[in-house]
Structure 1
Amino acid sequence: MTFDAAALPFAKLMGVEFTEATKDRVVGRLLVRDDLCTAGSILHGGAVMAFADSLGAVGGFLNLAAGQHTTTIESKTNFLGAAKAGTTVTGTATPLHIGGRTSVWQTRIEREDGKLVGLVIQTQMVLG
């Protein structure tokens, strides 16, 4: 199965750039723009979660059979650091579990200096 980034309009709106997308690893970059920030020009927690959700969803999708779809049914985020406006964060999603009904993905969001901004674990449910 191949991945078309146009299928994720919210990720496009956020500015997510997918740099790698395989069944075992999805990597993306996100420029921390002012409109994605909270007070103090820091990346908003919701943007961190949405970025990670997009990466994990692509991984879940790439592991589906033809005709199936996926949706997030659970997500947990640990916020571990801040990313300032004007910097770029990188997210790397890898599977913890690939099953017939669900897949579980761990996404590390890192700053340019390699420090963690967030660690997200999400569950994707197989539909169809």
Structure 2
Amino acid sequence: MPFARLIGLEVTEATPEKVVGAVTVRAELCTIGESAHGGTLMAFADCLAAIGAHLNRPERAAGTITIESKTNFLGRAASGTRLVGTALPVSVGRRVSVWQTTIEDEAKRAIALSVQTQLVL
């Protein structure tokens, strides 16, 4: 996933039941005020959910795409903060899967909560 490399995603666990990864907030991923941009948080969550959907896709499927995404921003992540995201499946079907991703800082403070729907191609 080239975009995942761009944001610095490090995947630490990837199974069909759970995907965990980390991103360190750097200046290029921030908005004014040196806080993680909302798009950074959404992209981080989307990457983790996409990995989970990919791991659950039927054998002959070409891939998956996000068809819906909603994120609640719960806290500020300053530049230099290491974030940990955990994506868990809410529902996995043959054509659609729904994933909930929590993003926390290293102190376990909630930063964002995201729900994505992934379509199997």
Separation of aligned partners in 1, 2:94 and 2:49: 16
Structure 2 residue 18 is the aligned partner of structure 1 residue 22: no
> How many matched pairs?
120
User: Which residue, out of 84, 107, 115, partners 1:113?
Assistant: 107
Q: Which residue of 1 aligns with 2:77?
A: 83
**In structure 2, distance between residues paired with 1:118 and 1:39:** 18
- Alignment check: 8 A CA contact 2:30 2:36 kept: yes
Spell out, residue by residue over 1:45-98, the C-alpha distance to the aligned partner (whole angstroms, 9 max, x if none). Answer: 000000000000000000012231100000000000011111100000000000
Give the Cα separation in 1 of the matches to 2:59 and 2:96: 16
Q: Which amino acid aligns with 2:51?
A: V
- Runs of 5+ in structure 2 lacking a partner? none
User: Is the 2:94–2:120 contact (alpha carbons within 8 Å) kept by the matching residues of 1?
Assistant: yes
After TM superposition, the runs of 4+ consecutive aligned structure 1 residues lying more than 2 A away are: none
Q: Secondary structure of 1:51's match? A: helix
CA drift at 1:99: 0.6
Partners of 1:31 and 1:102 in 2: CA distance: 30
Paired residues for 1:39-50 under 5 Å: 39-50=32-43
TM-score normalized with structure 2 length: 0.97
Confirm or deny: 8 A CA contact 2:65 2:118 kept in the other structure. yes
1:61 aligned counterpart, secondary structure = helix
Question: What is the root-mean-square deviation in Å for CA atoms of aligned residues?
Answer: 0.6
**Corresponding residue number in structure 2 for 1:70:** 64
Give the share of equivalent positions with the same residue, in percent.
Answer: 55
Letter in 1 for 2:87: A
- SS where residue 47 of structure 2 aligns? helix
5+ residue gaps, structure 1: 1-7
